[in-house]
Each structure stands twice: as C-alpha cells, then as structure tokens.
C-alpha cells in the first residue's frame, strides 16, 4: 500500500511539473510574440507608404517625404557602395600572406568615416522629415526611428559545432 501511494505521489509530481513547464512555456512565448509585435521596423522599400500609414500623413507631407526619401536613398546607397568596396579591400589585405597592417588601419579608418557619413545622412533625413510634421506625428516618428537606430550593429560571431571546418586560421594560412 505504501509503494502505491509513493507511485501515485510521483505521478502527481511529474504531472504537476509538466503542467507548470507547459504553462511557463506558453507564457514565455506569448510574451516574446508581444515584444516582437510591439517593435515596428522602418522598411527599406515603400517607406513613404509605410510612413503615411504610421504617421497619418496628408498628401503634401507624403509628396515631401517621397522627395526626402529619394534623396536619402541616393546618398545612403552611394555610401553603402563605398563601404562595400572598402570591406572588399580589407578582405584582400587580410588574404595576403604578409598583410600590411598600416594599410589595414587606413582602410579601417576610412570605413569608420563612411559609417559616420551614413549616420549623419540618417540624422539629416530624420530632421528634414520632422520639420514637416505636427507634434503628434513627431512623437510617432521618434518612436519609429528610435526602434530603428537601437538595433545592434555588433559583429555576429558564428556559434555551434565547427567540426570539419578547418583550424580557424583563415584561407591565407599555409598548412605546414
């Protein structure tokens, strides 16, 4: 009789633990979905339409934003092309057996300056848009841009199983 009680008690504890973990998992995923849903991202395409919907723009504002957006895209894309060229140059230097650290430092500095130019273009775009808006619209614009600018620009390091992927010394390393 005592062993039956122990068995039932263990089954009840296992059932309780399973229910708690299920409820906890459900709550966690619901919370995560709410967090993701509350983050609004500024799309790269159809930005004017998106802003019109989010900010309640009138036709005059919409046309002005379209002009500002074209100018911003033209300037930002030019800087992005230059950044990509500099990154390619950096990779080429890194691929050399004896790479030039002075040249690499110079390229890194140029990349930093281009990033600064890109951020300043974004700031100017924001200021130009803000000048066209009412106070309510400015507050909404601030929310949109703050979520956009708070994205992490950190370098993502690959994680996980690295079996069969070499010794991690890069393509320029000669096997000895």
Residue 65 lies in a domain: yes
Residue 65: CATH number of its domain: 1.20.120
Residue 162 lies in a domain: no
Give the pLDDT score at 155.
42
Average pLDDT over residues 39-60: 72
Residue 175 lies in a domain: no
Do residues 129 and 138 make contact, with C-beta atoms less than 8 angstroms apart? no
Question: Per-residue pLDDT tens for 106-140?
Answer: 999 999 999 999 999 988 998 998 999 999 998 98
pTM: 0.56
Residue 161 lies in a domain: no
Whether 124 and 88 map to the same domain: the answer is yes
**Token reading at 54:** 């989010």
Q: Report the domain count for the chain.
A: 2
Question: Per-residue pLDDT tens for 55-93?
Answer: 888 889 888 988 998 899 899 999 999 999 999 999 988
Whether 1 and 21 map to the same domain: the answer is yes
């Amino acid at each position: 009789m005592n062993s039956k009680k122990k068995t039932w008690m263990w089954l009840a504890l296992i059932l309780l633990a399973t229910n708690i973990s299920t409820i906890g998992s459900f709550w966690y995923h619901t919370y995560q979905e709410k967090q993701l849903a509350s983050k609004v991202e500024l799309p790269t395409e159809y930005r004017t339409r998106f802003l019109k919907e989010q900010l309640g723009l009138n036709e005059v504002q919409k046309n002005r934003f379209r002009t500002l957006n074209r100018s911003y895209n033209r300037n930002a894309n030019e800087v992005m092309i230059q950044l990509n060229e500099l990154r390619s140059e950096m990779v080429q230097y890194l691929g050399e057996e004896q790479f030039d650290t002075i040249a690499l430092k110079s390229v890194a500095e140029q990349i930093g300056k281009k990033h600064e130019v890109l951020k300043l273009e974004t700031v100017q775009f924001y200021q130009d848009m803000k000048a066209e808006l009412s106070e309510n619209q400015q507050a909404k614009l601030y929310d949109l841009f703050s979520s956009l600018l708070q994205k992490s620009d950190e370098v993502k390091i690959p994680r996980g199983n690295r079996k069969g992927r070499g010794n991690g010394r890069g393509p320029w390393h000669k096997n000895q």
